[in-house]
Chains A and B, each alone.
Chain A
Amino acid sequence: MSKDKTSQNILLQVKELQIEGFSDEKWHKIIKGVDLTLFKGEVLGIIGESGAGKSTLGLAAMGYTQPGCRITGGQILFNGENLARLSESKKRKYWGNRMTYVAQSAAASFNPAHRLINQTTDSTVRAGLKNRNDAFKEARKLYEALNLPDPHNIGNRYPHQVSGGQLQRIMTAMAMSPNPDLIVFDEPTTALDVTTQVEVLGAMRSIVEEFNTAAIYITHDLSVVAQMADRIKVLRYGEQVEEAETRVMLESPKEEYTKSLWSVRSLQKKEEVEEDIVLEMKSISAAYGAARVLFDVGIKLPRGRTVAVVGESGSGKSTAARVITGLLPPSEGSVMFSGESLPAELKNRTREQLQKIQMIYQMADVAMNPRQTVREIIGRPLEFYLGMKGELNRSRTIELLELIDLDESFIDRLPSELSGGQKQRICIARALAANPEVIICDEVTSALDQIVQEGILQLLMRLQKEFQISYLFITHDISTVKAISDQVVVMSEGKVVEQGLKSIVFSPPHPDYTQLLLSSVPEMDPDWLTNILKKRS
């Protein structure tokens, strides 16, 4: 894609932008003097870890700041007009009209009480760009271009009547409806399954190309940005690290930080075989009320090894974990632990049985009581299972903190005083405190940045070596599976599609579903999306 890069063709120019946010009774710098130039019809990818200021920058490109933030310096020139100085009412003439925004969670961004097509066209009609009928016609065309099923009638539905991926595409249609000059995409596919993500990405890209719209694409996923952007800008701590054309950036990043981002997924565990089975699900079927979710599932977990359970949302992988922990008694089948059958219900299990199987959750911030300090969080299982009290409890807690690469200074902190990765480490320490034989990890890394993810995975592997813990690792992320597992179980619609050693599952021939899943994982190659879409159509 070659774009005309002359100064008349500049759509948006941000100069020396500075933004501050108010928290903790102080103003903190969020954006520390960032420049940004966007030409007409160009897609700029912004990547960085959480807290890097990428969403703030994306919104600022529209002249908007979140409540509690203020622009303290710099210019935002949109078609030559400085948005940083413009009054709210004047900026509103641009918003939802010349420039639009696609949010991360489409489900939270739609009004549940209005039909989709009304929401899609609302700002277009209100701005007087088109009359209602024309706008509706245009919207239906957009639905068609975005590969939505039944494009003529889907707009008559309400948000809860379509799936998450469809909603995300309808949100893109909403952003496209007024034919804007600029769209800001803020992590639009993060909440989607990989197979859905491919479709949404393809639809977004084709529509941006077709209408020659300029876009800013914000994400923390490198392989996604490689598909979408013409140029990539890397942000860290509110400052620009580097910026280059996508291909140049992928092949030869200059800065150390960018290189570390690129190399993150090199982690690979060598698979090992183990005959001793510690935990086994024997032909389990389970249901929530009348809805059956698991059908004859059998999974074996060898001692001291990692079994990864992969599947999309709704495949029943988390339900399998609930059955093992006893939260959901199965309708058929049983869970065997070290050769003995575990009672189906949580309340019938002994304290020793509970102690042996621990769990780590996806969202570390809701898995810890916000009113308890680290000492209470880690100390409680020590006291509860092992009877450790007082000084003994404290010294063991510190030992555990050191084991997870933190130190004594963390002992009196509350969860809100920790970063995301540190929170997940504390959760690991809490599970470890019980001296378990099996730890169930439910999407433990999916809410974290890539560099932090790698740190957590390395920690888990080290602990496994040291204490011979077995992991049942539930995830939808294939690269995590490749990194950590010995064996892989692929699940779809409550059934096991394929299982076995990692090397066997990941080498062809694949059952259809595994093939679809594996081929949908974005790769760093900027041509990947084009190729995969060509192959499928």
Chain B
Amino acid sequence: MTEKPNTYSALSEVGAIRENRTIFANIKISLLKSPLTARFGMVVILIYAVVAIFAPLIAPYGEAEVFPIPYAPWSSEFIFGTDQIGRDIFSRMVYGARNTVGIAVATTLLAFLIGGSLGLAAAINRSYLDLVFSRTVDVLMAIPQLIFALVLLSIFGSTVINLIMIIAILDSTRVFRLTRAVSLNVVVMDYVEAARLRGEGLGWVMRKEILPNILPPLIAEFGLRFCFVFLSIAALSFLGVGIQPPTADWGSMVRENASLIQFAKYDLKAGITPLLPAAAIALLTVAVNFVVDWFLHKTSGIRDE
């Protein structure tokens, strides 16, 4: 070997290295750069969360407390009046945040747990497992979701547990599809092969090698999926097979007070009342979508030029 004129050192070698930042510093930077819509969305979601968590402290009355005056007008005593059997609408909206949002979150989480793990397993084991899961999902997706949910709910009965299970399973088909698709791109990477050559089991490869790399699209999908689940629950409740009375829920509240809307020409406030829970649903959906859009935009690597 001849003498080298320069002293090469691996330590001092610099390529396109990125600054070493903590996770918090990264979050802070992205929050500072977030667009107005995303900030609005985050504030709205935060308010909903606070209302849902502290519902008993915020609501002036109980969710099933009945007062002698049905259809009471808006007043200082009943902020948004009372409903057809004399329950305070404002209190029910506050409790509704807890029930509807809580059930939607639980359902979405369950859907991701089922769809995500099956999707990952299918992507890694491309043989019979993938075939069985994918075809089953195809069959489930071929049936219109709302009608399928209606059928299943009328077979098994409308309890909260059944509602969560049925919607979660139906929605997990979409999650399965997405997880499988994004994992397929990761499964072919050399580091997954390296882990298999090391002799790692299916569980490790799923959790440690693939999951962290497909998390951004899954989180974005979580937001969207949450909106769909939320709307399905509201729709089912509106049809009378969702969350059962006396539990307060925005979907059924729209239905129960729907008749009030025809009094709008005599008393505008009364006419608006049934629209309030609908507006609450719409606002949350829009807010979540704002945040998801921003997140998707960030993770997909599109630059603003």
Contacts and interface: CB of A to CB of B under 8 A. Distances in A.
A and B physically associate: yes
Interface of A: 23-25, 50-51, 67-68, 256-257, 259-260, 263, 266-268, 325-327, 346, 349, 351, 354, 358-359, 361, 363, 366-372, 380-381, 384-385, 404-407, 412-413, 416-422, 425, 430, 434, 451-452, 454-455, 459
Given A371-B212, A417-B17, A380 B191 contact: no
Nearest to B15: A419
B81 to A, nearest CB: 52
B132 interface: no
Contacts of B199: 349, 351, 354, 384
Contact of B11 (A259, A346, A371, A405): A405
Interface string B5-30: 11011110111111110000000010
Contact of A263 (B2, B193, B209): B2
B2 A354 contact: no
Contact of A366 (B8, B20, B190): B190
Given A51-B16, A354-B199, 10 more contacts: A23-B16, A51-B15, A327-B193, A327-B196, A349-B199, A369-B191, A369-B209, A370-B213, A405-B10, A407-B11
A236 to B, nearest CB: 11
B161 interface: no
Given A325-B197, A420-B15, A425-B10, A367 B190 contact: yes
Contacts of B13: 419, 421-422, 452
Contacts of A418: 15, 17
B8 to A, nearest CB: 5
Contacts of A68: 303
A67 B304 CA distance: 10
A454 B193 CA distance: 27
Interface magnitude class on chain B: 20 to 34
Given A51-B15, A354-B199, A413-B20, A406 B191 contact: no
Given A267-B1, A384-B199, A405 B190 contact: no
A461 B209 CA distance: 31
Contacts of A380: 198
Interface of B: 1-2, 4-6, 8-11, 13-20, 29, 189-191, 193-194, 196-200, 208-209, 212-213, 303, 305
A260 B6 contact: yes
A417 B189 contact: no
A384 B1 contact: no
A254 to B, nearest CB: 12
A455 B8 contact: yes
Nearest to A409: B11
19 contacts: A256-B6, A257-B6, A259-B5, A266-B2, A267-B1, A358-B197, A361-B190, A363-B190, A369-B212, A371-B212, A381-B198, A384-B199, A405-B9, A405-B10, A417-B20, A419-B13, A425-B10, A452-B8, A452-B13
A414 B177 CA distance: 30
Contacts of A455: 8, 10
Nearest to B20: A417
A217 to B, nearest CB: 23
Contacts of A459: 10
A393 to B, nearest CB: 15
A266 B6 CA distance: 14
Contacts of B6: 256-257, 260, 451
A459 to B, nearest CB: 8
A416 B303 contact: no
B5 A404 contact: no
Given A380-B198, A384-B198, A406-B10, A417 B18 contact: yes
B14 A419 contact: yes
A359 B190 CA distance: 10
Contacts of A326: 197
7 nearest A-B residue pairs (beta carbon):
A419-B15, A371-B212, A260-B6, A367-B190, A405-B10, A266-B2, A369-B191
B5 A263 contact: yes
